[in-house]
């Protein structure tokens, strides 16, 4: 999309049935909105049996006071000197003497850090992995690794989804919200979730508005605007339920927050940390056409449909490994096109694919079956080119069977989402080997498929 910038990265929550065991986070968080300081004292329990194949990830802006074992003893760890980065986090490896601590049943970790406050100035970028203070609010998602995240080395899996029982303190905050629980009045509040979730943190001085199926934080919408917004989101959920066979019944939390990057007028971006959708750069009330009960701008509907689609790809299915970005973002974008097509007709989807093909006709990619590292699928690839690959598959097998394929992916037991997974789920959905070979020859092996896309 030219108007909207989608930066939905490293999402969202796992349903409790996806992984039998998720870590449990317990402890306290102290935040100062005026200085940007965060101090945490946490224990991690219920850690899966990972042997020595794990790391403990924490935002690079934090300094560790100490790590302790289940007995409360201070233990050694690698990573404090010449540490390796994984995304936004430094990787730490707890040790028992000179050896990696195997199968830690419990880890206690205390740390503190201070982050910049953006009031009248900006960073060159804003994204989900940034811990963002603006003097009024703090936004910190799971991608920022504001809490300790276990990394499963063998499965190439971030265990960001945790059950939790934490106390958050912020003396200069009127409201505190932790994803998975209700927003509560500050300056001190307790939060808990028995369902594994990615605990996004949103603290500050803002208004809380409630409707029957959503909670809105930091917006100034009227009741009429709230009703229209909620109805548009509900329509998207109903479409995905019909097509994918999995209901989306959870109440969403919609956050309007200030970007710490300077935006041109009309540009917004968003991310999802299920069930929260966070939007930066816009006035949500200003997007609503109350008289006609819809979004004013035609680009708003697919923008939100993309975020809603992350409930399925990012939550029901949590991607990992080499095709992480393809199964996270390309699928969500493809689904948003189909949802918008259902509302506005094929005139929308034809225009979408025509525009994408024109913009990408000289774009070269590493074919999916040759991707060896997840970040070979960059931003343009994952958001713009990847949906064309899925469109190509739809051209060959039809829309109904395409949704059968997507449903099969969602029902698959947790696996490595690499190219073999892509092919295996296609076969399991009823796509024949001859059909797959034809698809692979035309739409996978090529470095550019724009000339093959029909619209």
Within a domain: residue 253?
no
- Determine the Cα angle at 362 with ends 356 and 367, to 5°: 85
Q: In whole angstroms, how far apart are CA 288 and each of 206, 220, 221, 313, 337?
A: 21, 12, 9, 27, 20
Residue 326: strand, helix, or coil? helix
Structure tokens at 113: 């850090």
The structural domain count of the chain equals 2
Question: Residue-wise pLDDT tens for the chain (455 aa)?
Answer: 334 444 343 333 333 333 448 999 999 999 999 999 999 999 999 999 999 999 999 999 999 999 999 999 999 999 999 999 999 999 999 998 889 999 898 999 999 999 999 988 888 988 999 999 998 999 999 999 999 999 999 888 899 999 999 999 999 999 999 999 999 999 999 999 999 999 999 999 999 999 988 999 999 999 999 999 999 999 999 999 999 999 987 889 999 988 888 887 767 888 989 899 999 877 888 889 998 999 988 889 999 999 999 999 988 998 989 999 999 999 999 999 999 999 999 999 999 999 999 999 999 999 999 999 999 999 999 999 999 999 999 999 999 999 999 999 999 987 899 999 999 999 999 999 999 999 999 999 999 999 999 99
Structure tokens at 71: 């007995």
- Which residue segment(s) compose the domain that 119 sits in? 24-205
Starting at the edge strand found earlier in the chain, the sheet holding 37-45 runs 63-68, 106-114, 37-45, 24-32, 162-169, 188-197
Within a domain: residue 228?
no
Q: Using CA atoms of 356, 362, 368, 372 in order, give the dihedral in degrees to the nearest 10.
A: -130
Within a domain: residue 395?
yes
Within a domain: residue 418?
yes
Structure tokens at 297: 């701008």
Q: What's the whole-model pTM score? A: 0.84
Question: What distance in Å separates the CA atoms of residue 97 and residue 162, rounded to the nearest whole number?
Answer: 29
Residues 339 and 195 in one domain: no
Give the CATH number for residue 380.
1.10.390.10
Within a domain: residue 104?
yes
Cβ contact 89:129 at 8 Å: no
C-beta neighbour count of 433 within 10 angstroms: 10
Give the CATH number for residue 61.
2.60.40.1730
Report CA Rg, the chain. 22
Domain finish residue from 162, 181, 205: 205
Residues 187 and 334 in one domain: no
Domain finish residue from 205, 229, 245: 205
Question: What distance in Å separates the CA atoms of residue 173 and residue 205, rounded to the nearest whole number?
Answer: 6
Structure tokens at 240: 């995905």
């Amino acid at each position: 999309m030219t108007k909207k910038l989608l930066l939905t990265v490293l999402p969202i929550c796992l349903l409790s049935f996806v992984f039998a065991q998720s870590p449990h986070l317990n402890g306290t968080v102290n935040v100062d909105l005026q200085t940007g300081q965060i101090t945490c004292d946490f224990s991690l329990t219920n850690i899966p049996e990972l042997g020595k194949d794990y790391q403990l990830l924490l935002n690079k802006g934090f300094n560790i006071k100490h790590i302790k074992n289940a007995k409360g003893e201070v233990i050694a760890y690698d990573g404090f000197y010449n540490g390796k980065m994984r995304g936004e986090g430094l990787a730490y490896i707890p040790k028992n003497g000179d050896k990696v601590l195997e199968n830690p049943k419990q880890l206690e970790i205390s740390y503190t850090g201070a982050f910049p406050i953006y009031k009248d100035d900006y960073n060159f970028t804003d994204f989900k992995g940034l811990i963002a203070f603006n003097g009024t609010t703090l936004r910190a998602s799971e991608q920022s690794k504001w809490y300790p995240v276990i990394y499963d080395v063998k499965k190439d899996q971030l265990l960001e989804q945790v059950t939790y029982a934490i106390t958050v303190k912020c003396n200069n905050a009127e409201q505190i919200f932790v994803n998975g629980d209700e927003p509560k009045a500050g300056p001190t509040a307790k939060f808990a979730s028995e369902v594994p979730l990615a605990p996004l943190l949103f603290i500050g001085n803002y208004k809380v508005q409630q409707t029957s199926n959503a909670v809105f934080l930091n917006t100034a919408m009227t009741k009429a605007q709230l009703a229209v917004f909620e109805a548009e989101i509900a329509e998207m959920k109903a479409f995905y339920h019909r097509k994918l066979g999995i209901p989306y019944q959870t109440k969403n939390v919609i956050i309007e927050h200030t970007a710490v990057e300077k935006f041109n007028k009309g540009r917004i971006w968003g991310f999802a940390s299920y069930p929260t959708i966070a939007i930066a750069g816009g006035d949500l009330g200003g997007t609503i056409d109350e008289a006609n009960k819809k979004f004013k701008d035609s680009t708003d509907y697919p923008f939100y449909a993309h975020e809603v689609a992350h409930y399925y790809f990012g939550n029901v299915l949590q991607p990992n490994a080499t095709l992480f970005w393809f199964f996270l973002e390309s699928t969500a974008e493809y689904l948003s096109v189909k949802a918008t097509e259902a509302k506005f007709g094929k005139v929308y989807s034809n225009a979408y694919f025509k525009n994408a093909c024109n913009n990408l006709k000289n774009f070269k990619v590493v074919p999916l079956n040759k991707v060896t590292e997840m970040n070979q699928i960059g931003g343009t690839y994952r958001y713009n080119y990847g949906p064309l690959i899925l469109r190509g598959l739809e051209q060959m097998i039809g829309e109904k069977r395409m949704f059968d394929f997507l449903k099969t992916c969602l029902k698959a037991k947790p696996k490595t989402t690499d190219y073999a997974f892509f092919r295996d789920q296609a076969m399991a959905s009823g796509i024949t080997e001859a059909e797959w070979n034809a698809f692979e020859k035309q739409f996978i092996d090529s470095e550019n498929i724009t000339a093959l896309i029909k619209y």
